Structure 1
Amino acid sequence: MRFRHRARAWAAAVLALAAVPRAAAQLPHAGPSDTLVPAAEAGPGVEDDGADCAVADTGSPASESRLPDPFRKLDGTRISTAADWRCRRAEIRELAERHVYGQKPARPDSVTGSVSRTGITVRVTHQGRSASFSAGLELPAGTGPFPAVVVLGGMGADTATIKNSGAAVISLDPYALGKEGTPRGTKQGAFYSLYGSSSSTGLLMAWSWGVSRVIDVIEQSDGGVLRADATGVTGCSRFGKGAFVAGAFDQRIALTMPIESGSGGTGIFRGIPGESGAQPLSSAYSEQPWLGDAFGSFTGNPAALPVDTHEIVGMVAPRGLLVMENPHIDWLGARSGSVAALGGAEVYKALGAGGNISYWSDVRDGTHCAARPEWRTPLQQNIQKFLLRSGGSSGVFRVSPAKSGDLAAWRDWQTPDLTGTGTTTGGTGGSTGGTGGSTGGDSGGGTGGGPGTPGDGCTASYRTVNSWSGGLQGEVTVRNDGTGALDGWSVGMTLAAGQSLGSVWNGVATGTGQTVTVRNASWNGAVPPGASASFGFTVTGGSPTAPHTFTCTGS
């Protein structure tokens, strides 16, 4: 075992926090106020709350075609409490740095700057080297102080909606931090001025580092213009990749909103090679030095990676995450993105924060990086919940049927309940409510006995997670009401006239037309007495009428 490379800077980071003006030091933590994870675990005012965790040197990783278990530590044991997640997250972070993005150094020796009503200046010095950069600032109506969203490269979530929602817009040029069009051995930009042009760290992490330095300056300001506890980040395309990395690697970011990030972004690395038309990993690696140099050895064999992006999605938990994708451009790999979001949502669910993650790829306009009307409401609601803390809407998954991934095909691990309220085994983590339509509650429960020990059986209960014109998202919970363990289960249901089944996760669907059966996935068929499993699905066509006549059969 060894302490992570940032641990040696832990004491310095604590001293640096002590030097922050008292008004900033006493601000509430940046995580969502309603999370079930203890505040100490959410990293209040701390860029990386796991910097003191010991992480094992694992040597050469073993090849694994399915997604790694985000809950299994490097020593082979699984975590069982929310407190365990802090150091498990540190392991994932270390693996992601070592094999995917390159190292994000600890906070530099000195970060200074200023915040005015029109801009932010940043000056960084470290071990005798210095670099400076700046960002523009647009304020919404009102007197402030305001929450703010960092928009990378001028492309991200709709800035008009951000400002109309009450948040400021910080316009940050990623190329000032890490310039594209440079060879890997002679990288340029503020990051590489400090850490060397031959640094093995890729541009995405350099951009992430720059976002963190902007937050440092906001924390040190007098708080008259911007709030230090309410920063979001967004970007589209290559800048969507950067926004995703920034949110994953700085726990002070309360809301992360990557858009159409494509290969090297949110999509699972293991899924990209099998997704028709998606940008190959070798292309994403060579197009620009976005990813760290070490990733080059995995472009032809992502199964050898000891980490994948569903775990990096999980690094954002329990903070706010809104992933927006475009299913109309094959190059963007939206199917692999949906699997990453579904897998990462299992971390949110395990932490009791399932309503803090949203995913939306069900859009009509295929224009790359367009300001889509479908995203306006979820954008407003996420800003209200995580930056203004004035809303309580829950997360929602709107997966395009054209690019819907199947998480069950990619995992053989179960999801623990780290909050201590019972075992969970699946589901997207969304709760009732959401955007774009009406909500629903439990309905359509049905029971059915199965072969086996007399008295064994299961119950299937249904709820509508979200509905909209022409579709809905539902969830079915299968509960073992018998006296013996179930080795498998299946649920029959009837769709309304004109409806068809879209995507299904945590189960395998069979049947056509209105009569559909969903059986357990390979990993969630075993259900002890009194325990439950669940699966989710989308329905398209017809009216948003809930399915009915649920029957559950256990074996």
Structure 2
Amino acid sequence: MLKSFISLVGITTLVLGTLTGSGDKDRAARPAKCPVPAMPSFSSLTANAKLPDPFLFMNGSRMKKRKDWDCRRAEIAGLAQEFVYGYKPETAYAATTGSFAEDKITVNVNDNGKTIAFTCSITYPKTGSQPYPAMIGMGASNLNNSELLKMGVAIINFPNNKIAEQLNGGSRGKGLFYEMYGSDHSASAIMAWAWGVSRLIDALEKTPAAGIDPARLGVTGCSRNGKGALAAGAFEQRIKLTVPQEPGAGGAASWRVSDAQKAAGKNVQTLSQIVGENVWFRSEFGLFGKVSDKLPLDQHMIAALCAPRALLFLENTSMEWLSPASSWITANAAHKVWEALGIPDRMGFSQIGGHNHCALPDSQMPELRAYVMKFMIGNSSDDTVVMKTDSDVSLDDGRWLDWSVPKLK
């Protein structure tokens, strides 16, 4: 059972991180002036069939200014860690060092009385000059890597399976992350990967010999690794562009909408299924298996954690298991956050079928190229306004939303 905390009545604020005994917290997710309210207990959560309002603070007030997003984002990050992913440790910057040799960067972390190391290979472009922008591939990049290299973008392979295993439901607590923080740490495999990506970025900042510009980084991954790429981008503000590719449930698809799709006879992945398949989410997430409508957030709000930075979903309508309808509805709900912030061109969604899973078709390269050019390379003239699907599904606001986009000052 999830920990029970002080009632939100009369809001008692806690610094994010005091919610667990080990001092876990996500430094990048919480601005210094944004204390996070105590998390509610599972038993206190009430059912809500609609996608929760991303603009509604936990104290019942609603965002009025664009600058309020920093603190609302911090709340959402707290909810996501408490109920979905587990907590990302705030590892001191000084704990990480890096070394570079033979097109590989080795990341060394010394924390909690333990030392671990992992190595990431780097493929360099033959055009442009160092330091290069780089796309971090969760496990690997399944984008059109040859085209990225031609654009002058390096590819970094991040060994997520070494950080936290994801073989099956018996993988929980296995991997380098758990060697350092203990097999009973709250962090799921996905959150452990996000932590590892942050340590890689620490090392890149300290290792100029690697020839990578840490101020121009993207992250991607496909399928299960796409779920991880989204979390890495959501919880690390140094990532400029997040590109989840066909991540499905726990990525682009909302749990509530997917449950409705399942009830309508679609063969889609749901929360009740996924919690028994693998260890991508914290163990307590299984409490929501048959009551996803009790979640105080959903995937549209996880996606919104990337705002005001750039996010591009690349989806596939030929993969029913990914719940294409749920992904489209979720993306449109998430996009409203960027709309409210006055930057709708920083979040895109492209959903095209007729190709294999994790095989990026040429028809989606224009969107990817535009986002990479604008947000990683720095060509602001590229058009990144893209919200498209080749399906006939639409967002039924009346069915899924009981909130609208606020006019923020």
TM-score by length of 2: 0.89
SS across alignment from 2:311: strand
Partner of 1:216: 202
Indicate the structure (1 or 2) with the bigger Cα radius of gyration.
1
- Structure 1 unaligned runs (5+)? 13-45, 421-555
Q: Does 1:55 align with 2:36?
A: yes
Match of 1:2, as an amino acid?
T
2:103 and 2:392 map into 1 onto residues whose CA distance is 43
Matches within 5 A, 1:417-496: 417-418=407-408, 420=409
2:190 and 2:168 map into 1 onto residues whose CA distance is 14
Q: Does 1:138 align with 2:127?
A: no
Quick one: which of 266, 274, 288 aligns to 2:252? 266
Matches within 5 A, 1:102-113: 102-108=86-92, 110-113=95-98
1:224 and 1:48 map into 2 onto residues whose CA distance is 27
Q: Which moved more, 1:183-192 or 1:390-399?
A: 183-192
SS across alignment from 2:240: strand
Superposition deviation, residue 52 in structure 1: 4.8
Q: Is the 8 A contact 2:138 2:157 kept in 1?
A: yes
1:117 and 1:165 map into 2 onto residues whose CA distance is 22
- Equivalences, count: 382
Superposition deviation, residue 6 in structure 1: 3.9
Quick one: which of 129, 141, 152 aligns to 2:114? 129
Q: 1:199 to 1:188 in 2, by over 3 A?
A: same
Partner of 1:149: 135
2:171 and 2:319 map into 1 onto residues whose CA distance is 32
Q: Is the 8 A contact 1:184 1:293 kept in 2?
A: no
Partner of 1:458: none
Superposition deviation, residue 154 in structure 1: 2.1
Deviations 1:101-153 (A, max 9, x none): 11111124601112456111101111201211110001112321100000112
Superposition deviation, residue 155 in structure 1: 4.3
Quick one: which of 323, 341, 352 aligns to 2:342? 352
TM-score by length of 1: 0.66
- Structure 2 unaligned runs (5+)? 1-11
Percent identical:
34
Structure 1 ranges of 4+ moved more than 6 A:
none
Superposition deviation, residue 63 in structure 1: 1.0
Q: Does 1:374 align with 2:363?
A: yes
Superposition deviation, residue 364 in structure 1: 2.9
Partner of 1:280: 270
SS across alignment from 1:231: strand
- The structure with the greater share of residues assigned to strand is 1
Matches within 5 A, 1:24-39: none
Q: Does 1:389 align with 2:378?
A: yes
Superposition deviation, residue 186 in structure 1: 5.0
Partner of 1:311: 301
Q: Is the 8 A contact 2:105 2:210 kept in 1?
A: no
Match of 1:153, as an amino acid?
G
Deviations 1:486-511 (A, max 9, x none): xxxxxxxxxxxxxxxxxxxxxxxxxx
Match of 1:67, as an amino acid?
L
Match of 1:107, as an amino acid?
T
Q: 1:132 to 1:407 in 2, by over 3 A?
A: farther
1:156 and 1:407 map into 2 onto residues whose CA distance is 33
Q: Does 1:329 align with 2:315?
A: no
1:207 and 1:407 map into 2 onto residues whose CA distance is 34
SS across alignment from 1:121: strand
Partner of 1:162: 148
Superposition deviation, residue 280 in structure 1: 2.3
C-alpha RMSD of matched pairs (Å)? 2.0
Superposition deviation, residue 160 in structure 1: 1.2
Partner of 1:483: none
Q: 1:384 to 1:66 in 2, by over 3 A?
A: same
Structure with more relative contact order (C-alpha pairs < 8 Å, separation 6 or more): 2
Q: Is the 8 A contact 2:142 2:359 kept in 1?
A: no
- The structure with the greater share of residues assigned to helix is 2
